[in-house]
């Protein structure tokens, strides 16, 4: 089992007033503090997602942030969770990721997906209905670009003639690729093209979930590829369970309702209306409580849901406050992560 920390690039309430430079600077410093705290605490990776055109998003550029993190950390792996590949010219992604891989001396994890939010496509003028085809072509271009060979590519969306990317990535043959997606087609695609399948932090129905894991692992096996289920969970640790509930649960539920209103959480039979999202119903879907609670929950997700790698989010757009987040990250590193090292599993 491995464990990464997700850094939310939202720095305030949804649809807040446009931020001034002081707020952006303070939030950037906060991201750096969280990353260095995660490295010192023993997390395997630090990761962040891509958002655009929203006032609460105080650091929209995932690759700029990765480059900055590469020179502010020394051990921890750095990942996108997720870069929306259809929004980009894939040669730009290939070149920038290769250089960041050199800056970090081979610590890049590139998580990619086709995207769910039409507003992001609108922001860049990329038709939303083209995202599947652009993603497939983009993945092929990345692989060709990182091969170190000149190539010509004639696709529907991208065309290149006799091009050579140099330097190629530090990691050989390329950085680790994680693919996101929660529909059968995109789950199978993760097995076909990636080194890991990125999943979301929403409530899991055990029967439905096992079908998805089986589909992913079967697809990977058919391609002769290893499989790695990367499970994202919202998380919090405190010395007392009541304190974790007080600091974390209300913020976690408020965040989940944002996605419920997008129609993304509709698959779970226990959550049909907003009134269903109560603390008692939701607690079991998080990794939260005392260190002992968190250890049990991680072991449960590993045993019963087939998780190989956890990506944990300790902070949402409106909280908890920065100091408490840093305290929780450090406590998790002190009291939770050592349990998995001691049992002989590399964390």
- Residue-level pLDDT at 138: 98
Contact 168, 123 (CB under 8 A): no
**Model pLDDT for residues 283-326, shown as the tens digit of each residue:** 889 999 999 999 999 999 999 999 999 999 999 998 999 999 99
Q: What is the mean pLDDT of residues 116-132?
A: 96
Alpha helix (H) residue ranges in 146-194: 184-193
Which one, of 189, 143, 192, 188, lies nearest residue 168 by Cα? Answer: 143
Q: What is the pLDDT of residues 204-261, one digit of tens each?
A: 999 999 999 999 999 999 999 999 999 999 999 999 999 999 999 989 998 888 888 8
Domains and CATH numbers, the chain: 2-81+181-342 (3.20.20.30)
User: At how many degrees (to 10) do helices 206-222 and 184-193 cross?
Assistant: 40
Coarse DSSP helix, strand, coil percentages of the chain, rounded to the nearest 5 percent: 45, 15, 35
Alpha carbon 36 to its chain's center = 18
Residue 129 has pLDDT above 60, yes or no: yes
Using the predicted structure, report yes or no on whether residue 7 has a pLDDT greater than 70: yes
224 contacts: CB under 8 Å, gap ≥ 6 = none
8 Å CB contact between 314 and 5: yes
Q: What is the mean pLDDT of residues 100-122?
A: 96
């Amino acid at each position: 089992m491995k464990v990464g920390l997700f850094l939310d690039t939202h720095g305030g309430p949804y649809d807040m007033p446009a931020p001034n430079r002081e707020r952006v600077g303070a939030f950037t410093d906060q991201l750096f503090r969280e990353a260095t705290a995660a490295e010192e605490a023993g997390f395997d990776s630090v990761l962040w997602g891509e958002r655009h055109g929203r006032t609460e998003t105080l650091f929209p550029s995932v690759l700029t942030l990765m480059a900055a993190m590469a020179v502010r950390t020394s051990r921890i792996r750095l990942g996108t969770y997720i870069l929306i590949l259809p929004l980009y010219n894939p040669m730009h992604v290939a070149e920038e990721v290769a250089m960041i891989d050199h800056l970090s001396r081979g610590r890049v994890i590139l998580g990619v997906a086709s995207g769910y939010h039409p507003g992001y496509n609108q922001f860049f003028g990329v038709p939303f209905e083209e995202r599947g085809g652009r993603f497939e072509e983009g993945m092929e271009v990345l692989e060709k670009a990182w091969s170190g060979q000149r190539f010509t590519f004639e696709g529907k969306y991208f065309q290149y003639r006799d091009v050579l990317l140099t330097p190629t990535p530090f990691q050989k043959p390329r950085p680790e690729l994680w693919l996101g997606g929660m529909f059968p087609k995109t789950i199978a695609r993760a097995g076909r093209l990636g080194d890991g399948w990125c999943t979301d932090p929403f409530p899991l129905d055990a029967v439905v979930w096992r079908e998805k894991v089986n589909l992913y692992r079967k697809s990977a096996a058919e391609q002769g590829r290893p499989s790695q289920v990367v499970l994202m969970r919202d998380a919090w640790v405190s010395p007392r369970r009541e304190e974790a509930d007080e600091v974390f649960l209300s913020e976690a539920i408020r965040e989940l309702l944002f996605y419920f209103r997008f129609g993304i959480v509709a698959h779970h039979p226990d959550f049909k209306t907003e009134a269903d999202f109560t603390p008692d119903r939701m607690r079991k879907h998080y990794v939260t409580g005392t260190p002992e609670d968190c250890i049990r929950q991680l072991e449960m997700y590993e045993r019963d849901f087939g998780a190989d790698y956890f990506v944990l989010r300790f902070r949402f757009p409106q909280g908890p406050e920065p100091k408490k987040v840093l305290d929780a990250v450090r406590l998790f590193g002190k009291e939770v992560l050592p349990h998995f090292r001691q049992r002989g599993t590399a964390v």
